Amino acid sequence: MNPAEITHLIEAAFSDAVVKVESNDNTHYVALVVAAEFEGKRRIARHQMVYKSLGALVGNEIHALSITTLTPDEWRQQSGES
């Protein structure tokens, strides 16, 4: 599974999300997901939301997934924007 396919699946689950997925081998992935839906949620709940968007692919076509989840405000702070 290529990163573009995973990006599309995650984007479909969140409104106006910024999603970046990278992989060197198309089985191990690194994902950044920035979404307003994460506001007020703990990291584990955010990750569960992302896993839900990918369903049975996790553990099968997606062998490993490292996720960074941020709200838009957290993303702006990390980016150094005000």
Per-residue pLDDT of the chain (82 residues; tens, 9 = 90+): 999 999 999 999 999 999 999 999 998 999 999 999 999 999 999 999 999 999 999 988 899 999 999 999 999 998 876 5
3-class SS of residue 56:
helix
| pTM score | 0.92
CATH architecture of 3-79: 2-Layer Sandwich (3.30)
* DSSP collapsed to 3 states, 24-63: CCCCEEEEEEECHHHCCCCHHHHHHHHHHHHHHHECCCEC
> CA–CA separation, 15 vs 22, rounded Å?
21
